[in-house]
Chains A and B, each alone.
Chain A
Amino acid sequence: MASLARLGPRLAQRRLAPFASRRLQTAADSTQLHQDTPSDGAEPFTVRLHEDSFRGYLTDAPSLDAEVTKDGLFKMYREMTTMRRMEQAADALYKAKLIRGFCHLAIGQEALAVGLESEITKEDLVITAYRCHPFAVLRGGTITGVLGELLGRQVGMSNGKGGSMHIFTERFFGGNGIVGAQVPVGAGISFAQKYLERPSATFAMYGDGASNQGQIFEAYNMAKLWNLPCVFVCENNKYGMGTSAERSSSNTEYYTRGDKIPGIQANGMDIIATAKAVKYARDWVLAGKGPLLLEFVTYRYGGHSMSDPGTTYRTREEVQRMRSTQDPIRGLQRYIEEWGVATADELKKIDKEAKAVVDAAVEEAKASPEPLLKDLWSDVYYPGTEPEYLRGREREEVHYY
């Protein structure tokens, strides 16, 4: 009896152990190659993701076998490198006082925008919050257009009238500044897709910080009730501004917070895992299974915005450790070199090209004039449906349409 009693806790511990060890891991370079790679760059080959790349809630996790192509990996590398370069350029422009107001950079989170874009089509629609620059470029915009917007110039994608947080394309609905508000709007976009019988998905993105806004749960409920083709994507970069996930959320397993909506948690640092999760989610909603939650565990290297050094609520060592051990670009670089996709020299060439592309875009954006003063008045209302006039700052400052 006594020995049995002593055995009890130990048995319980052992039973718990497998679960406790099943934590998602976020290494960027743990995917394994088990075959020779094809010589044709467009020919798919299969790689094996780390067994802790995904977790599922009310559904099985995606399979660990992922199909990739050399061309695809190469393209991802180019896009991630270029996006990081662009964000670094924005950082420099901000510090040079050429960018006004807010500026939120996605350095460290490149695998999400690039991984998402690699698996969706032009018919799919995306909406996100204010950390939006890479999405804006990859969804049909340009680097010059984004940097021009940050600089408040005519060449900006919103003609300089939106700023860092408000950039749109025909398949990307911003760039929204009210934390969480983009999520029901995203559900509405997917409502339209279903209504118009378009076989496509909406990806409504938000951060771990936004995840506690009540309207996100309102959106979950309607999406499930109406079986909308909406993937709710939580970019969990572990901090909402300076508040860690643990200090903001009673349940930090964001992929489980959809009640009856199944969820997937995925490694957001390994782009192969990221892309695989996106493909799984897109297939899910297109199969008519209704919405899905998709949580990417990722990390932002910089502060919340440019005014935040990002070091009061986390240690420099933590940031350094993430940068040196789990960087999504270095992880992909390792795959590319080890799997014979390209040589280190070829990648260096891409790095140089990315820098050249971004440098040229910076110059082009800087050279673009500020918006025309008459554009203060344009786009308040749809052309042809404006009031006769709008008032300026005093009664004699009036713009007639």
Chain B
Amino acid sequence: MLSRAALSRVAPALSHVRAAPSLAARRPAFRSYASEAGHSMTVRDALNAAMDEEMMRDDTVFILGEEVARYNGAYKVTKGLLDKYGEKRVVDTPITEMGFAGVAVGAALAGLRPICEFMTFNFAMQAIDHIVNSAGKTYYMSGGNVPCPVVFRGPNGAAAGVGAQHSQDYAAWYGQIPGLKVVSPWSAEDCKGLLKAAIRDPNPVVFLENEMLYGVSFPMSEAAMSDNFILPIGKAKVEREGSDVTVVAHSKMVTHSLEAADLLAKDGIKVEVINLRSIRPLDIETIKASVKKTNRLVTVEGGFPAFGVGSEICAQIVESEAFDYLDAPVERVTGADVPTPYAANLEALAFPDTALIAKVIKRSLYRTN
């Protein structure tokens, strides 16, 4: 009886999900990622479109956070939404992370679908108890009586020149928590399809954006322009096929990995680049399938090295049958194990770049020239 009552709380939104065309039916469409139709979009606009479309579709979706309304978003991701949906649904909060993250969770428990924007995920550390304990665990602790459909989103990872306290990648932190889903998109298509999926998901989703990608334009397929474009959370995407070595990256590191693959192509090295898209669930099957083909694996991330996303991928490969296919040790490319320095020359040494990734890929192939 209880769980049925709880079900009715999310039923309206769920029925929307079911009513949407099946993902399988749409998959061929978004595989044809190329831009024949000539559409392109910035990451910022893709995120904005995702929220706009979902707010249009479902009255219970609303946005709260610092500067999301009148200021149009600290990074302008929520631009125009106040004008369209009004102050009821685009809510400026005080600077009070723990408080408004708790409010977002409470609103989700009571039947709404909040999108909780953190100006950056660095500030969400003040609210991490609500993300982990209040949002991530309530469904389990209640024996399935109380779902918590909330999205926590905002820029994550290092920006440029903002120093130690504003430059951390939290993928590994949230990726550890059962009950949360964690998404780290790269392209505009990723952002649109995955944010829409996150908003419709009946579980709490941590959606990790990257400030330096906001202004970057990506091609958009015809399917991705549709207001029903959803990407499945938990599936990685092979961005570039290759047969010599597998590179797994997420967020901005996908850009650098693709650039490295371009560089190495000139030497005849065929790099397969996997865009993780989702940190939790982690699509290890796609990585394993690629490793079985290339026999070599390099992970790339902007986060600290210890206990990171690369560490986890490495461990899961070692634990799996894919281990037997490896012809070289797995290589990890990560941020350096230091707080992020301010000076440009030092900061450059704190994060992977294209040249470094190319160097490590070569090493994994036992080629140093």
Contacts and interface: CB of A to CB of B under 8 A. Distances in A.
Interface in B244-275: none
Contacts of A378: 144
Contacts of B111: 192, 196
Question: Which of B62, B110, B285: most chain A Cβ within 10 A?
Answer: B110
A214 interface: yes
B106 A188 contact: yes
B24 to A, nearest CB: 15
Contacts, number: 169
Interface string B80-123: 00000000100101101011111111111111101000000000
Nearest to A382: B202
Interface in B25-67: 60, 62
Nearest to B89: A195
B147 interface: yes
B98 A185 contact: no
B144 A387 contact: no
Given A158-B142, A169-B145, A214-B98, A388 B281 contact: yes
Contacts of A218: 94, 96, 98-100, 102
8 residue pairs, one from A and one from B, having the closest CB atoms: A188-B106, A184-B102, A218-B99, A387-B281, A192-B110, A159-B143, A158-B143, A170-B5
Interface string A10-30: 000000000000000000000
Interface residues of B, number: 54
A212 to B, nearest CB: 14
A379 B2 contact: no
Given A177-B133, A192-B112, A196-B60, 19 more contacts: A161-B140, A174-B138, A174-B141, A174-B146, A178-B133, A181-B130, A184-B101, A184-B130, A188-B109, A192-B106, A195-B112, A218-B100, A218-B102, A219-B99, A219-B102, A222-B103, A381-B139, A381-B203, A395-B319
B234 interface: yes
Interface in B1-26: 2, 5-6, 9-10
A184 B127 CA distance: 11
B99 A382 contact: no
B302 interface: no
B178 interface: yes
Question: Which of A169, A221, A378, A381: most chain B Cβ within 10 A?
Answer: A381
Given A196-B112, A379-B144, A381-B203, A191 B106 contact: yes
Nearest to A190: B106
B157 interface: no
A159 B103 contact: no
Contacts of B311: none
A90 interface: no
Nearest to A162: B141
A5 B230 CA distance: 83
B129 interface: yes
B243 interface: no
Contacts of A367: none
A339 B112 CA distance: 47
A184 B104 CA distance: 9
A187 interface: yes
What is the size category of the interface that chain A forms with chain B? 35 or more
B53 to A, nearest CB: 20
A390 B147 CA distance: 19
A315 B280 CA distance: 52
Interface in A118-160: 125, 127, 140, 156-160
Given A184-B102, A215-B102, A387-B234, A189 B144 contact: no
Interface in B141-178: 141-147, 178
A169 B319 CA distance: 41
A219 to B, nearest CB: 6
B189 interface: no
11 contacts: A156-B143, A169-B2, A170-B6, A178-B133, A181-B133, A184-B99, A184-B105, A188-B106, A192-B109, A215-B102, A218-B100
Question: Which of A158, A160, A161, A168: most chain B Cβ within 10 A?
Answer: A168
B211 interface: no
B201 interface: yes
B99 A222 contact: yes
Interface string A300-318: 0000000000000000000
Nearest to A184: B102
B179 interface: yes
A170 B88 contact: no
Contact of B94 (A168, A221, A380, A382): A221
A260 to B, nearest CB: 14
Given A185-B109, A189-B107, A382-B203, A157 B94 contact: no
Given A215-B102, A379-B139, A388-B281, A159 B133 contact: no
Given A168-B146, A382-B147, A387-B234, A181 B202 contact: no
A219 B103 contact: yes
A195 B93 contact: no
B142 A162 contact: yes
Nearest to B64: A191
Question: Which of B96, B147, B202: most chain A Cβ within 10 A?
Answer: B96
Contacts of A379: 139-140, 142-144
B352 to A, nearest CB: 28
Given A191-B103, A219-B103, A388-B281, A174 B142 contact: yes
A176 interface: yes
A277 B242 CA distance: 71
B116 to A, nearest CB: 10
A107 to B, nearest CB: 24
A159 B138 contact: no
Contacts of A175: 141
B106 A195 contact: no
B354 interface: no
Given A219-B99, A222-B96, A185 B105 contact: yes
Given A221-B96, A380-B179, A382-B203, A168 B281 contact: no
A3 interface: no
Interface string A372-383: 000000111111
B106 A186 contact: yes
Contact of A187 (B103, B146, B201, B319): B103
B129 to A, nearest CB: 6
Contacts of B217: none
Interface in B315-350: 319-320
A173 interface: yes
Contact of A221 (B99, B285, B319): B99
A183 interface: yes
A166 interface: yes
Given A183-B102, A195-B62, A215-B99, A173 B109 contact: yes
Interface string A223-256: 0011000000000000000000000000000000
